[in-house]
């Protein structure tokens, strides 16, 4: 991008090259046809649905009894044809299977409206481990649609299908890929994902290395199973212990290592969270898509909710940068959708037929080509929060879009079960303002109104620690790029120290609330959202200033903890979003006035000084995202 300087990653040290392009052997597997998930909690219907009759579904095979039909027109069963037509140079895909028995195999297709058609089919009779191959053109899917495999038997027929593979013509060279897992005191979760990769490693042909950046004190290598998984993965596994630099520092380590050990710029780094339930086939799907992309692109995987395994978090998302709003569903995107349910309005199954353009992708699973790193540098040393969004929006400015690929999914803890009033809110706010400064018009009047509205809601909601968190985030943004010098370590310690001073930031058992008898806490429900919010807001502020309240003590469910309701209490015992305890919010006029004055002052500073500070971050970005800066942070 004109006017922007980006560091060039240094070449691999002589004799230490780990990554080089491979010569393909035959066709490129784009995804496997699977009939059961990686864990018992995952419904097999996410892979294949029995439309009628009966069938036995195993991980890599399925057996149909007489008079049965099974469709793979499901989340993991569909081939995302629209995305392959739009973003790759592939014009045809083949689905191959080993078949025994009698029956019908057919390739179904959909369009952006979800209307189905059959594009190819073959009857088999008396087959004994016969290889069947059906092909489909990728030519009528630009705006939407997918492909899938249907299986059917008639009376007296049985059919066994196994080793289903969707494949495309291979490129001249295959990109080497390294998976990077960032972990911090989640040793058991991380080990499970390493074991899942090891169990499937023979099918992950494009996977050259696995980096584990362990930043904790409870180390993965301390677990009994680590020695065996290290043996199973062999030279592919690279276990690194490093200082805790948050998610940004852990994931960036993979980029750093690949950049220092690659003989080609055509390499991929696949980020993966440590606490996900992994579907190993996402490695196959994301790397194959990247290998056939017309141009280098960031390929994101989708997130399914771990506590509700049938739910898709979002089909594709973007951020409203200037108003600090991440996680916005793209138009037509599924959002918190039951993948086994139907749309309430259309009554059609919840399937993402329409192709979507993402703004960014979360780093629960996200593949970054080395060409991107070489062109734009490394991630910002944000510690965590907004590092993924900032990197994607920066990459887009250099011509590298982000594509969120349907069917490449992992299960991650549901976001709405995490309470907003936590120390990580500091990083969310501070880093969102920095990202807005770097990649948005940075309208300071609009931004100031957004922050003031948040502050008022927090104060009325008796969230004084959260108000202090917001104030500290804005203050530290105004300190300029120097606040990122240590990668966020000092800021993490300081925000935790600040929040310790506010009792409502602590969680308690409902039967053991300090100073309050459990039997005295009864639920007081909220009225509906006010139709005239401004008038209600003014009234609540006046009541707070004058010390008036309607309720002395009451319990409030987490979904009813609105500012207009909490502001009616002297003390509100609010359920934590995790559902594991409660927070006690108590009205404190002194704290409210003090925080209000400090908040107004710092937001006024932002309005006055923001443009100058914005330029400081822009000037500092090449250095902050350089290899030399990360080498310093890693203490190498």
Q: How far apart are CA 299 and CA 312, in angstroms?
A: 17
- Is it the case that residue 2 has pLDDT exceeding 70? no
Quote the pLDDT of residue 455.
97
| H-run or E-run covering 584 | strand 582-586
Which band of pLDDT confidence, cut at 50, 70 and 90, is reported for residue 419? confident
Quote the pLDDT of residue 122.
98
- Is it the case that residue 12 has pLDDT exceeding 80? no
Q: Please give the structure tokens belonging to residue 270.
A: 């696949």
Quote the pLDDT of residue 16.
66
Which band of pLDDT confidence, cut at 50, 70 and 90, is reported for residue 11? very low
Q: Please give the structure tokens belonging to residue 585.
A: 């919010």
Residues in the chain, total:
636
Residue 172 exposed, middle or buried by CB count within 10 Å (0-12, 13-18, 19+):
exposed
* Beta-ladder partners of 149: 107
Residue 597 exposed, middle or buried by CB count within 10 Å (0-12, 13-18, 19+):
exposed
Q: How far apart are CA 403 and CA 361, in angstroms?
A: 8
pLDDT digits (tens, 9 = 90+) for 377-400: 999 999 999 999 999 999 999 999
How many Cα atoms are found within 13 Å in the side-chain-facing hemisphere of 475?
A: 14
pLDDT digits (tens, 9 = 90+) for 76-133: 999 999 999 999 999 999 999 999 999 999 999 999 999 999 999 999 999 999 999 9
DSSP state, residue 398: T
- How many other CB atoms are found less than 10 A from the CB of residue 299? 27
Q: How far apart are CA 476 and CA 227, in angstroms?
A: 43
Average pLDDT over residues 10-18: 52
Q: How far apart are CA 208 and CA 44, in angstroms?
A: 30
Q: How far apart are CA 225 and CA 230, in angstroms?
A: 9
Longest Cα pair distance anywhere in the chain, in angstroms? 86
Which band of pLDDT confidence, cut at 50, 70 and 90, is reported for residue 345? confident
Quote the pLDDT of residue 15.
42
- Is it the case that residue 13 has pLDDT exceeding 60? no
- Is it the case that residue 560 has pLDDT exceeding 90? yes
Strands 207-214 and 237-241: parallel
In this structure, what is the dihedral angle of CA atoms 446, 451, 454, 455, given to the nearest 10 degrees?
A: -140
Average pLDDT, the chain: 94
Average pLDDT over residues 327-332: 96
Residues 6+ apart with CB under 8 A from 344: none
3-state secondary structure string, 180-239? EEEECCCHHHHHHHHHHHHHHHHHCCCEEEEEEEECCCCCHHHCCCHHHHHHHHHHHEEE
- Is it the case that residue 213 has pLDDT exceeding 90? yes
Average pLDDT over residues 408-436: 94
Name the nearest CA neighbour of 355 among 316, 304, 311.
316
Quote the pLDDT of residue 201.
84
Residue with tokens 């952006």: 112
- Is it the case that residue 9 has pLDDT exceeding 50? no
Name the nearest CA neighbour of 355 among 108, 117, 78, 168.
78
Quote the pLDDT of residue 468.
98
Q: Please give the structure tokens belonging to residue 375.
A: 């062109």
- Is it the case that residue 581 has pLDDT exceeding 90? yes
Quote the pLDDT of residue 549.
93
Q: Are 89 and 155 contacting, i.e. CB atoms less than 8 angstroms apart? A: no
Quote the pLDDT of residue 1.
41
3-state secondary structure string, 229-298? HHHHHHHHEEEEECCCCHHHHHHHHHHHHHHHCECCCCCEEEEEECCCECCCHHHHHHHHHHHHECCCCE
- Is it the case that residue 10 has pLDDT exceeding 50? no
- Is it the case that residue 184 has pLDDT exceeding 50? yes
| H-run or E-run covering 551 | strand 551-556
Given 189, 214, 388, 576, which residue is catalytic? 388
- Is it the case that residue 503 has pLDDT exceeding 70? yes
pTM of the model: 0.94
Name the nearest CA neighbour of 484 among 444, 433, 519.
433
Active site residue 588: no
């Amino acid at each position: 991008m004109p006017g922007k300087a980006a560091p060039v990653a240094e070449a691999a040290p002589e004799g230490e090259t780990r990554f080089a392009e491979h010569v393909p052997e035959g066709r490129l597997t784009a995804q496997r046809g699977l009939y059961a998930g990686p864990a018992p909690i995952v419904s097999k219907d996410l892979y294949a649905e029995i439309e009628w009759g009966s069938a036995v579904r195993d991980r890599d095979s399925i057996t149909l009894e007489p008079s049965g039909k099974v469709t793979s027109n499901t989340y993991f069963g569909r081939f995302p044809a629209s995305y392959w037509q739009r973003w790759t140079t592939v014009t045809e895909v083949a689905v191959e299977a080993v078949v025994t028995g009698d029956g019908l195999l057919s390739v179904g297709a959909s369009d952006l409206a979800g209307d189905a058609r059959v594009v190819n089919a073959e009857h088999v009779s008396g087959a004994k481990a016969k290889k069947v191959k059906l092909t489909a053109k990728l030519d009528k899917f630009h705006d939407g649609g997918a492909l899938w495999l249907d299986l059917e038997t008639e009376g007296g027929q049985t059919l066994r299908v196994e080793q289903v593979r969707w494949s495309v013509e291979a490129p001249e060279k295959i990109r080497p890929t390294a998976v990077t897992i960032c972990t911090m005191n989640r040793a058991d979760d991380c080990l499970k994902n390493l074991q899942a990769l090891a169990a499937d490693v023979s099918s992950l042909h494009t996977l050259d290395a696995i980096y584990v950046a362990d930043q904790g004190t409870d180390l993965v290598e301390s677990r009994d199973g680590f020695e065996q998984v290290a043996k199973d993965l062999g030279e592919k596994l690279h276990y690194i212990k490093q200082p805790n630099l948050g998610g940004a520092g852990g994931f960036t380590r993979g980029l750093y290592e690949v950049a220092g050990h690659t003989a080609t710029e055509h390499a991929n780094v696949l980020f993966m969270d440590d606490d996900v339930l992994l579907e190993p086939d996402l490695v196959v799907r994301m790397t194959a898509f990247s290998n056939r992309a017309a141009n280098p692109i960031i390929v994101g995987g989708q997130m399914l909710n771990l506590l509700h395994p049938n739910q898709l978090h979002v089909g594709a998302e973007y951020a409203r940068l200037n108003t600090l709003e991440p996680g916005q569903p793209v138009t037509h995107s599924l959002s918190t959708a039951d993948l086994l349910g139907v749309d309430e309005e259309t009554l059609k199954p919840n399937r993402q037929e329409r192709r979507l353009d993402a703004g960014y992708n979360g780093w629960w699973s996200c593949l970054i080509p080395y060409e991107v790193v070489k062109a734009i540098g490394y991630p910002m040393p944000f510690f965590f929060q907004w590092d993924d969004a900032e990197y994607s929006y920066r990459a887009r400015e250099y011509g590298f879009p982000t594509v969120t690929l349907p069917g490449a999914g992992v299960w991650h803890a549901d976001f709405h079960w995490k309470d907003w009033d936590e120390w990580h809110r500091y990083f969310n706010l501070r880093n969102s303002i920095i990202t807005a400064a770097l990649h948005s018009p940075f309208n300071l009047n609009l931004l100031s109104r957004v922050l003031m509205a948040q502050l008022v809601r927090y104060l009325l909601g008796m969230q004084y620690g959260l108000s202090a968190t917001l104030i500290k985030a804005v203050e530290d943004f105004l300190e300029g790029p120097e606040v990122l010098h240590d990668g966020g370590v000092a800021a993490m310690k300081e925000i935790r120290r600040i929040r310790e001073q506010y009792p409502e930031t602590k969680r308690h058992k409902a039967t053991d609330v300090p100073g309050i008898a459990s039997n005295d806490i009864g639920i007081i429900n909220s009225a509906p959202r006010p139709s005239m919010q401004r008038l209600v807001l003014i009234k609540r502020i006046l009541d707070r200033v004058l010390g008036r309240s309607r309720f002395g003590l009451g319990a409030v469910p987490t979904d009813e903890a609105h500012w207009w309701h909490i502001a009616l209490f002297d003390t509100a015992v609010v359920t934590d979003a995790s559902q594991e305890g409660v927070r006690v919010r108590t009205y404190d006029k002194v704290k409210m006035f003090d925080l209000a004055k400090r908040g107004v002052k710092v937001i006024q500073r932002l309005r006055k000084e923001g443009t100058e500070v914005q330029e400081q971050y822009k000037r500092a970005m090449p250095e902050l995202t350089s290899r030399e800066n990360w080498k310093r942070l890693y203490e190498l």
